[in-house]
Amino acid sequence: MKKLTIAMVVLSASILIPVWPACADLIDLNLFVAIPTGITSISVSSDGSNAAISEDPYATVVGLSNDPYFGDPQIIFPGLLSFEYVFSEGPGDNNDVFEAFIIDPSTGFPLDGFHLIQTDSSSSLIEWDLPASLPNGLGLQFQLSALLDDVNLDSSVTVSNVRLVTPVPEPATILLLATGLFGILGLRRRKLRN
C-alpha cells in the first residue's frame, strides 16, 4: 500500500510540473558564406538577424549558404525552421528567381519538400517542419538568380529572423516515464519473490 501511495504522489507531481517550452534560437546569418566568395552585393547586419542580397553585374547567382557538406558549421537540425523574406523584382525586363532550400549534408543537394522558388515580387513568413527522421547538420541556402534573358540588375531580396525551434524534453514526460519504469521494476521484484 505504501508503494502505491508513493507512486500516486509521483504521478500527481509529474502532471502538475509546468512544461518547458521549446527552444527557439535565432540563427546568425554571419555564419553563412557569400556565394560567390567576396561578392559586394550582399550585406549582413552585425547581429546576424537579417541579410540583403542584390543582383551583381559579375555573377548570375548570388546568395548566402551554410553547407556542412563543404565544412560549414552545423547550425540546422530537425525542428521548426522559419524565416521571413521580401523579394523585390525590379520593374521592366527582369527575369529573376529567389530560392531558399535545405541542403542534404551527405550530398550537398537540396532536399525534396524544402525548396522555395519565387519568380515574382513577394514577401512571406516561411515555416518548414524538419522531421526528426532527417539527419543532423542540415544546410541552408538563400540565393538570387538572374536568368538568361534578364537585362536589368535592380532585383533584391531581404532575409530576416531565421529561427530554429528545437523540441526540449518535458519534465512531466520524463517523470511519467521514470514512474512507469519503477512500477515495472517493482512488479518484477514482486514476481521474483513469489
Digit-coded pLDDT (tens) for 8-60: 445 444 444 444 455 678 999 999 999 998 888 999 999 999 999 999 988 89
The answer as to whether 15 is a domain residue is: no
The answer as to whether 73 is a domain residue is: yes
Mean pLDDT of the chain: 82
The answer as to whether 189 is a domain residue is: no
Give tens-digit pLDDT for 74-130. 999 999 999 999 999 988 767 899 999 999 999 999 999 999 999 999 999 999 999
| Residue 96 structural domain | 26-168
The answer as to whether 14 is a domain residue is: no
Output the domain CATH number for residue 160.
2.60.120
Q: Between the CA atoms of 146, 151, 154 and 159, what dihedral angle is there, to the nearest 10 degrees?
A: -10
Q: Return the closest-CA partner of residue 167 out of 66, 18, 37, 19.
A: 19
Rounded to whole angstroms, the Cα distance separating 190 from 96 reads: 72
Q: Which segments of 98-170 does DSSP mark as H helices, in order?
A: none
The answer as to whether 183 is a domain residue is: no
The model's pTM is: 0.75
The answer as to whether 54 is a domain residue is: yes
Q: What pLDDT band is residue 187 in, cutting at 50, 70 and 90?
A: low
The answer as to whether 173 is a domain residue is: no
C-alpha cell at 75: 547550425
The answer as to whether 177 is a domain residue is: no
Residue 162's CB is within 10 A of a number of other CB atoms, namely 28
| Beta-carbon contacts of residue 23 (< 8 Å; ≥ 6 apart) | 165, 166, 168
Domain count, the chain: 1
C-alpha cell at 179: 514512474
